[in-house]
Structure formats: C-alpha cells, structure tokens
C-alpha cells in the first residue's frame, strides 16, 4: 500500500496546490497528514477544502496550531507571532472547518498496522524531536518500527542501529530511502507550508509499505503570492519574509 504523507501545511494553499499537482500522476492509496493544517499563512479554509476534495481515504491527526486555533489550547506557550496568526485563523475559519480542526484526533495513531504517526513525539504531541537523545527516548518508550512525525519542519530520519542512533537530514529535492527490516525509524517529511531547513521548496513523501521505500520530493510553488496574501491579511510580515530563506 502506498501512502502520501504530508505535514505542517500551515494554511499555505499555494504550496499544497503545487504538491497535489505533482502527485496527480503518482499512485498512492491513502493520504496521511501529521497535523498543523492551519496557522501562519492566509488560506486556512482553502487548505482544508483542498484536502476534503481528495477522493482517497485519509488519516489525520492534530497539531499544536490546530489546537490553539480551535480553542482546545490557550496558546500560552506560543510566541507572539504564532499566537497572532492562530487568533487570526480562528476568526477566519468557516464553522465547518473550525469543527473539523477541533475534532482532529490526537496522536499517536497506528495506521493499518504498518506505521505510527504523531505530530511532535509519540510521548508528547507538542514535543520537538531534534537530537539523537530525543529519538532515544522515543525508541525506549514507544513501540513501532516506523514512526512518522512532524512539528520541527525539518526533513530528517533517525535510525536505531545496533551501535547507536544515526541522525540524517534529508537534503536535496528528491531522494529514495529504503527502510531495512530489523531497524527502527523516526521519519519527518518536513513542512509543506513553512520549510525551515534553508530549502524554500515544499516537501512531501510517498511511503510504499510493501517495499518499505520512501520517495521524498520537493516542489516549487508561488512563494511570492503566499507572501503577498500574508501581508494583505494583516498577519505578521515575518511569516511571509521567512519563506524567502526557508528558516
């Protein structure tokens, strides 16, 4: 079975549209989103509506921005820019889309007995996974040979090997990765809506659970239009500016 795996869309409809255009000719059976549908950019409703328009079965979990925008979380741990964007998003979401993000399930979730998904960490949905020690805690406390996670916005893979944990940032705009049996993996596809690994293109993954191959790709999108919409919406300008550097 092939899964299209997306994360951290952050209301960036231009980026999501570019990704969906790229995968239109690819074969996949199910769509998996690792949270943060909204926040930061100016098209929360369009992003949600684009996903609703896909005919494939879908598996979704919530992210921290989804929680704050829907009122589940107060956002007291957010910085002022992120909180301003979340408050703006709450006011702009249609009632059906507000209900949609409020009803998103909490991770971790097991998908088809093939892999586990979470937003931040299977131990804490709001935690960031940056280091081998972060990965060690997860491998020690959580089940599952393959775990897909988001939240950090950095495409990366942590591999539990006999002699330790290998940490690898996924570089470039296309890569194939084989997940070996007998090893355990934490895999982050990166953020579609706001990349932070100094690559401005939007990343996504397709995972073939039979061959255990990950196909990682990045696509260009109309960044200037996204930035202009952020400005026009009255959102903090740095949310548009940072897209230019991918940081």
118-130 b/e with 16+ CB inside 10 Å = b?
bbbbbeebebebe
Task: Decide: 132 and 138 in contact? Cβ < 8 Å.
Answer: no
* Element containing residue 109 per DSSP (H, E): strand 109-111
Six token digits for residue 143: 């089940």
Task: Quote the pLDDT of residue 25.
Answer: 87
Task: Quote the pLDDT of residue 70.
Answer: 98
**Residue 207: strand pairing partners:** 3, 214
Number of domain units in the chain: 1
- Strand-by-strand arrangement of the 2-6 sheet: 58-60, 30-33, 2-6, 202-208, 213-219, 174-178
- For the chain, 247 residues long, give each residue's pLDDT as a single digit of tens: 999 999 999 999 999 999 999 999 899 999 999 999 999 999 999 999 999 999 999 999 999 999 999 999 999 999 999 999 999 999 999 999 999 999 999 999 999 999 999 999 999 999 999 999 999 999 999 999 999 999 999 999 999 999 999 999 999 999 999 999 999 999 999 999 999 999 999 999 999 999 999 999 999 999 999 999 999 999 999 999 999 999 9
Task: Quote the pLDDT of residue 243.
Answer: 98
3-state secondary structure of 30: strand
Instruction: Look up the domain containing 69 and give its range.
Output: 2-244
pTM above 0.95, yes or no: yes
Task: Quote the pLDDT of residue 124.
Answer: 98
Task: Decide: 32 and 148 in contact? Cβ < 8 Å.
Answer: yes
CA distances from 110 to 116, 128, 176, 244 (A): 4, 20, 23, 35
Neighbour count for residue 156 (Cβ, 10 Å): 19
Give the CATH number, domain containing residue 18.
3.60.21.10
Q: For residues 194 and 15, what is the distance between their CA atoms, to the nearest angstrom?
A: 9
Task: Please state whether the peptide bond connecting residue 108 to the residue before it is cis, i.e. omega within 30 degrees of 0.
Answer: yes
């Amino acid at each position: 079975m092939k899964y299209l795996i997306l994360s951290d869309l952050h209301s960036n409809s231009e980026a999501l549209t570019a990704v969906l255009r790229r995968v239109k000719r690819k074969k996949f059976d199910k769509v998996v989103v690792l949270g943060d549908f909204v926040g930061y950019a100016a098209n929360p409703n369009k992003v949600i509506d684009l996903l609703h328009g896909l005919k494939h079965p879908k598996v979704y979990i919530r992210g921290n921005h989804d929680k704050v925008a829907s009122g589940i979380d107060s956002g007291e741990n957010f910085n002022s820019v992120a909180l301003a964007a979340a408050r703006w998003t709450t006011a702009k979401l249609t009632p059906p889309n507000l209900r949609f993000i409020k009803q998103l399930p909490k991770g971790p979730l097991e998908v088809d007995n093939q892999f586990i998904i979470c937003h931040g960490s299977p131990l804490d949905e709001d935690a960031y996974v940056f280091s081998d020690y972060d990965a060690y805690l997860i491998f020690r406390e959580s089940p599952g040979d393959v775990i897909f996670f988001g939240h950090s916005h950095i495409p990366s893979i942590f591999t539990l090997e006999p002699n330790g944990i290998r940490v690898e940032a996924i570089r470039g705009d296309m890569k194939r990765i084989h997940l070996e049996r007998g090893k355990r993996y934490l895999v982050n596809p990166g953020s579609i809506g706001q990349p932070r690994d100094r690559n401005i293109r939007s990343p996504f993954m397709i995972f073939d659970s039979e061959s255990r191959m990950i196909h990682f790709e990045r696509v260009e999108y109309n960044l200037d239009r996204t930035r202009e919409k952020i400005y026009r919406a009255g959102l903090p300008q740095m949310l548009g500016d940072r897209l230019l550097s991918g940081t």
